[in-house]
Chains A and B, each alone.
Chain A
Amino acid sequence: MDREIWITGVGMVSSAGVGVAAHLEALKSGAAPRVDNDSFTPYRVHPVVAVPFEQQIPKKADQRQMEAWQKLGVFAAGMALDAAGLKGDAERLGRLEMIVAAGGGERDYAVDGQILTQAPLSEHPAEMLNERLMSDIRPTMFLAQLSNLLAGNISIVHGVTGGSRTFMGEEQAGVDALRIAEARIRAGQADAFLVGGSYNAERPDVLLIYAMADYLWTHGYAPVMEREARGGGFILGSGSAFLVVEAADVARARGATPLARLDAVASDMPARKPGSVAASLDGMWERIAADFNPSRGVVFSGATGAAGVTAEEQAVLARRAGDATVHVTGDLLGHLVEPQFPAGVALAAAALSEGLYDDAVVTGVGHRRGEGSARLSRVG
């Protein structure tokens, strides 16, 4: 079996707006992205716009059960289902498979701060920790921390109850989520998937991880590809992207229209050393995009801005993309980590559906590990 695969719906929310159309508009306008320079100084983040959560998460009780990364994801997933014409179709949603790329976490920052303030003063810090955690943590906080509870909330709010799998591992989780969905549909193991991820950057605990290794861009705002000379770095962004990916025969039978064809998804994780990212991306390009048509083509790069690897990607794109338009999704959204690659694919699918291009390549290069590529084309 070797089935044609369509993307039939996308949902997006980020600092650039709500909905994929708003994102394409922002892309066309070329305006500088929204940056919050003050909340986490010296770090910058791209803060998510005000989101009308009630449109996709009508029950307040559901909203209360979720932290920001989950609400953003459930919202974008709902938009994707709406766009694909699947919202409320209980029978199809009951068979729809889901692969979510997610991290997790969320903390009660005030409680953490109080415990850490008290710890050095306490005679028995371990006992004090037990006592404070037992009395101060909200029991439901755990459900906002578990990685697979974005998928769980999508099941509850939207009724997606086919398979449910959550992949972890930063940027590469988003690449492999789409790769596995594509492979399973292609081989006839499944008909349709909801694939995507979500990220809340407006959290000091996520900044902390990257700050330990000095990955965050702290200079004045600069586009992703212009950070190398000053040591590289990324600006995290809040947002979510979800895609409905379907076998074309199944989509056609239910009267759905495609945004774009998903021709191939590739991923790899060779050990990082100078030149490894360029070789990996170049190899994938050769495998899935050797016949890429630059004159009617577009590239969405998921480059992070991290030093070295971003320069290697830039060199590959300069050699491979020819005259094609190259968009760096980080310049629009910031760095969304897990959903960065799905977001690039969502933007490519939307751009193809508008007829702006015939051919698209999406890249994803993890700041620390993993590379991915997708090839899409215009249907009809």
Chain B
Amino acid sequence: MIQLEDVSKIFESPLKQVEVLIKITLEVKNGEFIVVKGPSGSGKTTLLLSIGGMLRPTSGNIRINDKNIYLLSDRERTKFRALNIGFVFQMFYLIPYLNVLENTMLSGGLKDIGTKRGKALKLAEDLGLSDRVMHRPSELSAGECQRVALARALIHQPEIILADEPTGNLDKENSSEVVRILAHYHQNGGTVIMATHGDDADKIADRIILLNKGEI
């Protein structure tokens, strides 16, 4: 269960203060598929990064399975994230000098290299990347890159996937494929929170949350 209690996030600069999230209260049950929609600048990315332990809220609490993740030390939170959370971003953020297999194995959640490699190869096969495992990101299409990013997020079988506009750079066909993969993960009991502009995932979402100017 993910619980947000009055979570606010303010970004401060020398010239101004920007309130990106305003008193967000939200509960996400285990195994739910939540779609977060809103215009650019509404706070979707900030919300996902906060839930993922990457962005400390200015105020409020965020609990995952009754654990207040921002009361953990940085090291503990890193470890928590490694074991429990998988991120998928619009820009993929693959390491350019690593091949598909190595990018997939990048997750810090699994220590045993043998296990990691086996899982990475299996995932590559499941995601239609078997013949591309030795290719670098520059040699892949956008759709293939996003599937690699998904594989990286899934390899350690996290409880939660946080996907920030994963279809934003993809065509319709690849977007559908990404949503299918997330749906499959959800069907197997995983929790998904997906930020998006489009309606790709509306049909499979348990809930759709509209975010506007930092408020639900």
Say whether A associates with B.
no
